Amino acid sequence: MKPENEGSLFKRTSIRYMIFVYFTVTALAASIFIGLSLYSRMSKQMSDTMQEENQILIDQLNRSVDVWLRGIMKLSDTTYYGIVKNTDLRNESVNKEMTLLYDNNKDNVENIALFSRDGELLEAVPATRLKTGADPAAEPWFEAALKKTENLHFSVPHVQRVFDAGENQYRWVISAARAVEITEGSSTEQGVLLIDIRYDSLEQLFDGITLGNGGYVYLLGADGELIYHPQSQLIYSGLEDENLEAAAEYRDGIHQEEYKGKGRAVTVKTVGYTGWKIVGAAALGGASLNALKTRILIVFIVAFVVFILAVINAYISTRITTPIEKLERSVNGIEAGNLETEVYVGGSYEIRHLGTSIRNMTTQIRHLMDDIVAEHESKRKNEFDVLQSQINPHFLYNTLDIIVWMIENEKQADAVKVVTALARFFRISLSRGKSIIPVRDELEHVRNYLMIQHMRFKNRFTYEIEADEDVMELASVKLILQPLVENAVYHGMEFMDGDGEIRIRVYRDGEDLYMKVSDNGLGMTKEQVKGMFTDKPHVKSGSGSGIGVRNVNERIRLYFGQEYGLSIESELDEGTVVTIHMRAVPYAETAEGEKIHVK
């Protein structure tokens, strides 16, 4: 009995309890194991390692930039003190010596030029002339050199726009300018020595340098202006931005800041003489570990934990979620409208109970829907039978009155025709209680009706019935043409004095059967056509049968489906065409003329 009780207990174990126990134990064990093994040991080490590596990299870059700047300063000193300072420019040219210095440094130098205080070009290599309209004295580097004569001034990167240099007119350069003494004869005056350094020589120092955790390095000028950035073009065009103002305020060291909603560490190092700042930015919270053993340990622990969790979760998922998924597939089938879907019953107690409840509910819904459909069809058919039995007595009275008049006027032959037509009319109307009749009988019924009406309204209208022989034995809903013809007689030609035409055409097109009733009467507006389908279907007109257009449309759809029914085309003073669309089903394939079998 014990195993049975245990099995019964397991079946009644709730899914909530199972999920709570399994996943709580798994998550707790994984959290304790991973937390104790990794977090306390690696968290601070990772952060410290990242900052140390970034600091070392920036220090190395700082030394490289410093060497690059000192090389430029040395070139400037050599040009000034070795060539310009002790040369009388009135009697001697310094072009040869400057060209020699340029040739030795042309990989990094774009131009070397000497200007007078007024901006007149005295010497320049390799450029030989200024651009038309260029004013060197108005350039920022020229003004800075004369403002602080004791310093060597470095400009921000800019396009060289002073010299006419042929193909290299738009090279990016950094201008290093200083005030110098120029000797001409016995007089000495100030001038400006310019060395244009190629910007790409500076870019090469930063090219390929990245910090840990997706970090990068950029360079700021002494006034906070951007000198180098890996995305400088995007920043200049406004597509990207950088926290330049904050970086310009930072002193050397490591700072933490919030930028674009994320924390990051900013390492700043000032480049000696110039006051430039090398800035490294890297996101907080991650780094590359520098110990191979540590990396191997982390990979092993993570792989082991993932394996254990995969095994446990696979078992849990199979044990708990599989019954839910099967039940969900069953419910999806029911939701899609297939009430015959087999509902899965299995799994924990709650899922089994839920599956049983859904199965019972589905059975009840099927029964209710069957009852509703049967009741609706019965109601609609009964309504039509009642309407059919209420053929307007005015039509019968007027027909009998015509017969009496014909007999009194000794028109016995015509009276016989009318009596015969009336008898056939009522015979087909009754049709032994059937709702489905052959097209042949439907056409015979409307032909008798038109014959009687034609004799009542002599010279008011003519009629024509055209039908292919292959449609005669197809199935039709009973009494669908007569209400349409009745509308054409009483409404379409109400105010016409003659020349009225009513035409009925029946034909087959593939698997579809069409009946068209057309007249040349007064026609209708679009609103009136719309009202034929929206007005109450059983309201009788003064002289009609009461079986209206909407009733005909609904009965066709009841037997054939919603894609079938009536369509009306009408224009005022042009006439009306009513088209009946049904499925082409042989009458012999109907169940005793009562049910249409539409595939």
pLDDT of residue 555: 83
Query: Same domain, yes or no, for 385 and 503?
Result: no
Q: Tokens 């790409």 label which residue?
A: 200
Q: Tokens 């696979």 label which residue?
A: 314
72 within some domain? no
188 within some domain? yes
Query: Same domain, yes or no, for 174 and 302?
Result: no
pLDDT of residue 289: 46
Q: Say how far apart CA 9 and CA 198 lie, in whole Å.
A: 83
176 within some domain? yes
Q: How many structural domains compose the chain?
A: 3
DSSP for 450-466 reads HHHHHHHSTTTEEEEEE
Using an 8 Å Cβ cutoff, are 34 and 301 in contact?
A: yes
Using an 8 Å Cβ cutoff, are 195 and 148 in contact?
A: no
Q: Say how far apart CA 179 and CA 143 lie, in whole Å.
A: 10
pLDDT of residue 290: 46
Residues 269-292 pLDDT 10s? 898 778 888 998 888 764 444 455
pLDDT of residue 542: 41
One digit per residue, the tens of pLDDT, for the chain of length 599 reads 444 454 454 455 555 566 666 766 676 677 667 766 765 666 667 667 777 888 888 888 889 888 888 888 999 999 989 888 888 888 888 888 888 988 999 888 988 999 999 988 888 898 778 888 888 989 989 998 888 888 888 888 888 888 886 666 678 899 999 999 998 888 889 999 999 999 888 888 888 888 877 788 999 988 888 888 888 888 888 888 888 888 888 888 888 888 888 888 888 989 877 888 899 888 876 444 445 566 677 677 767 776 776 677 667 767 777 787 777 777 887 777 776 777 778 777 777 888 788 888 888 887 888 788 777 766 666 665 555 554 555 566 566 766 776 676 666 777 777 777 777 676 666 555 577 889 998 898 888 888 888 877 776 788 899 998 899 999 998 888 888 888 888 777 766 666 788 999 999 999 999 999 999 888 888 888 888 877 554 444 444 444 578 888 888 888 888 899 999 998 888 889 999 999 999 988 875 445 564 44
264 within some domain? no
pLDDT of residue 424: 66
Q: Say how far apart CA 339 and CA 336 lie, in whole Å.
A: 9
284 within some domain? no
Residue 441's φ and ψ, nearest 5 degrees, are -70, -35
Query: Same domain, yes or no, for 469 and 417?
Result: yes
Using an 8 Å Cβ cutoff, are 330 and 343 in contact?
A: yes
Query: Same domain, yes or no, for 419 and 460?
Result: yes
Last residue of a domain, one of 202, 220, 247: 202
Which residue segment(s) compose the domain that 323 sits in?
Answer: 293-389
Sequence-distant (6+) residues with CB within 8 A of 426 are none
356 within some domain? yes
Residue 280's φ and ψ, nearest 5 degrees, are -110, 130
Residue type, 24: T
Query: Same domain, yes or no, for 514 and 443?
Result: yes
Q: How distant, in Å, are the alpha carbons of 49, 212, 218, 246, 266 from that of 285? A: 12, 11, 21, 21, 13
Query: Same domain, yes or no, for 507 and 535?
Result: yes
Residues 110-144 pLDDT 10s? 889 999 999 888 888 987 788 888 889 899 899 98
Q: Give the Cα-Cα-Cα angle 16, 20, 24 (nearest 5 degrees).
A: 170
pLDDT of residue 335: 72
The CATH number that applies at residue 120 is: 3.30.450.20
Last residue of a domain, one of 331, 364, 389: 389
Last residue of a domain, one of 327, 354, 389: 389
Query: Same domain, yes or no, for 422 and 481?
Result: yes
pLDDT of residue 513: 94
254 within some domain? no
Query: Same domain, yes or no, for 373 and 452?
Result: no
Which is it for strands 461-467 and 500-509: parallel, antiparallel or unpaired?
parallel
pLDDT of residue 195: 93
The CATH number that applies at residue 552 is: 3.30.565.10
Query: Same domain, yes or no, for 132 and 194?
Result: yes
Bridge partners, residue 512, by sequence: 509, 583
Count, residues in the chain: 599
Which is it for strands 436-438 and 276-283: parallel, antiparallel or unpaired?
unpaired
Query: Same domain, yes or no, for 385 and 410?
Result: no
pLDDT of residue 568: 92
Query: Same domain, yes or no, for 337 and 454?
Result: no
Q: How distant, in Å, are the alpha carbons of 492, 526, 573 from that of 520? A: 8, 17, 8
Q: Say how far apart CA 376 and CA 558 lie, in whole Å.
A: 10
Residue 138 token pair: 């108005």
pLDDT of residue 94: 86
Sign of CA dihedral 425, 427, 430, 431: negative
Sequence-distant (6+) residues with CB within 8 A of 148 are 179
**3-state DSSP of 205-272:** HHCCCCECCCEEEEEECCCCCEEECCCHHHHHCCCCCCCHHHHHHCCCEEEEEEECCEEEEEEEEEEC
Q: Say how far apart CA 155 and CA 145 lie, in whole Å.
A: 10
Residue 475's φ and ψ, nearest 5 degrees, are -85, 145
Task: Give the other-Cβ count within 10 Å of 89's Cβ.
Answer: 17
68 within some domain? no
Query: Same domain, yes or no, for 134 and 107?
Result: yes
